[in-house]
Amino acid sequence: MSIYRKKKGKDQLKTYMSMDKFPTIEGYDFDKKFDFNEFIEGYKNTGFQASNFGMAVEITKTMLEERKKGKLKLWLSFTGNMISSGNREIIKYLVKNKMVDGIVTTAASLEEDAIKCIKPFHLGKFEIPGKFLSQESIGRIGNILAPMDRYLYFERFFNSFIEMLSKKFDVVPSTYEFANEMGKYIAEHNLTRKSHNDSFLFWAAENNIPVFCPGVTDGAIGDLLTFVKKRNPKFSIDIARDNLTLTSMLMNADKTGCIILGGGISKHFLLNSAIFREGFEYSVYITTAAEYDGSDSGGNQEEAISWDKIKANALRVKVVADATLIFPLLVAAIANGNR
């Protein structure tokens, strides 16, 4: 057996490193009275991704403590499907309560945040045939159903917003200015103002939290901007100014931390900007993407360290899990601790 070795014809037990000081693997004891804090704390010693989630909770709590002392700026990055899902309300909670200092996201986040102030999305199934949904004018985002009439309403909102924006700016707006103005306009337009308090963009504008959107021409916004540009060839959005602004904000912070949900352009734009300060001091990834194909979405934190996007001595963890499962639990752990 592997624990034995041969010595002069006899089997002797191999020497091995003592495990006595290592944490013991154990799960939560549901026979005793349930305690949420102990339940969350128990994730650390469960093993596998549960232990990574336990680390994510600890790191996030540390980031928030540093932030309260004025020593850290916390950044949140997420893909558009987070706003498609119920994570929109979780993100709104963080923004409304000023628990983050900046956001990087995608065009889908902006448009769907406004759309949901008009009409909701609905729960379906992953298995619904695309042909049937197309015939019924319903788009599918995983198992979330987005009826196409939502985008007709959004077109009315957006065209009115662009008309206002074109009159307001003498210079070309950046995407964070674009998002800031959209957040304000959600509170004003007749289609969205009734539910504007549900909008993370509104609260970001209200609390002066910048929202960067490097892929602003993607999604329905990109479709509609095609017609905007055709009507007004002079209309533009200054994406390069986003780089200058974001890198300046990161460079001028004592310490920085990031929570990154998913991957794509929002993840890369934020991490790439951190190169100018030689990386984040804290980093939490929550994603289902793997690193084996070399994609940035799946890239682990060792890869980010090689590019100076995360510091080598950073407190960091990657949780391989669906963010709709893990992120609400993470925020619940934080919110419960703040009560």
The catalytic residues are 309
3-state secondary structure of 46: coil
Those residues with Cβ within 8 angstroms of residue 289's Cβ, 6 or more apart along the chain or in another chain = 262, 263, 295, 297, 298
Amino acid sitting at position 45: N
Residue 62 near residue 284 (C-beta atoms within 8 A): no
Residue length of the chain: 339
Report the alpha-carbon distance of residue 161 to residue 114 in Å, rounded. 11
Report the alpha-carbon distance of residue 137 to residue 146 in Å, rounded. 9
Report the alpha-carbon distance of residue 264 to residue 105 in Å, rounded. 9
322 CB-contact burial (10 Å; exposed 0-12 / middle 13-18 / buried 19+): middle
Report the alpha-carbon distance of residue 296 to residue 80 in Å, rounded. 17
Report the alpha-carbon distance of residue 93 to residue 332 in Å, rounded. 11
Residue 284 near residue 258 (C-beta atoms within 8 A): yes
For residue 7, report the phi and psi dihedrals to the nearest 5 degrees. -145, 115
Report the alpha-carbon distance of residue 122 to residue 116 in Å, rounded. 11
Element containing residue 281 per DSSP (H, E): strand 280-287
DSSP-derived secondary structure for 9-23: TEEEEPP----TTSP
